[in-house]
Amino acid sequence: MTNYRAILEYHYKGNTTTQIAKLCECSRTTVLKTIKRAKECGIEESAFELLSDIQLLEKLYPKRVHRSGYEEPDFIALEKDKKKRGLTVFVMWRRYYKRTLAAGKKPYGKSQFFKLFKRYDTGSFRFEFQYTETMKKVSALISDYVCTPSRLGEGVKRAAKEKFHLWCKKMRLDPQKI
């Protein structure tokens, strides 16, 4: 799943599309389309930071998030059933599907239900984890470089600085922009 928040964040920091594509592990075309769509929607640097990941996705691509006509699953009730009876996600979908059809409404298909459940189960989108892991790596390198205690000596500090700059060079990033 594409991390739109990371794309916009790196863009507003001044990174190039190639750098953003490498950091977010997506194509340059995706980066360009996301930046263009954000400009069309009027999402400014200060505005996107206030939005959650789901709200950002709804603002960028409203048709991707909510499909009209489909009955939304009650994941809270389904989760209670799952814990109580030891159900699998497939059985949860089957129950949802049968109940929704019996009520005369349109249910989600199995694969879409699984995606929605995964989003519910994790509390957010999967890409949030990837973004967090990348940011942990960057912050660890920066903290090693910046926060090395002076008592350890200049050799350790120099090694941390070289490690940070090598990583930036490998990722083709400007250390000043991170």
User: What is the residue-wise DSSP string for 60-112?
Assistant: H-HHHH--TTBPPP-HHHHHHHHHHHT--HHHHHHHHHHHHHHTT-BPPPHHH
Q: What is the pLDDT of residues 77-124, one digit of tens each?
A: 777 777 777 778 888 889 889 989 998 888 988 888 888 887 776 654
Residue 4, both tokens: 């739109």
User: Is the pLDDT reported for residue 131 higher than 90?
Assistant: no
pLDDT computed for residue 161 by the predictor: 75
pLDDT of the residue at 18? 92
Domains in the chain: boundaries = 4-67
Each residue of 7-32: pLDDT tens digit? 888 998 899 999 999 888 889 999 99
Per-position DSSP letters for 116-141, written without gaps between them: HHHHHHHSS-THHHHHHHHHHHHHHH
CB within 8 Å of 127: residues ≥ 6 apart: 1, 2, 3, 6, 53
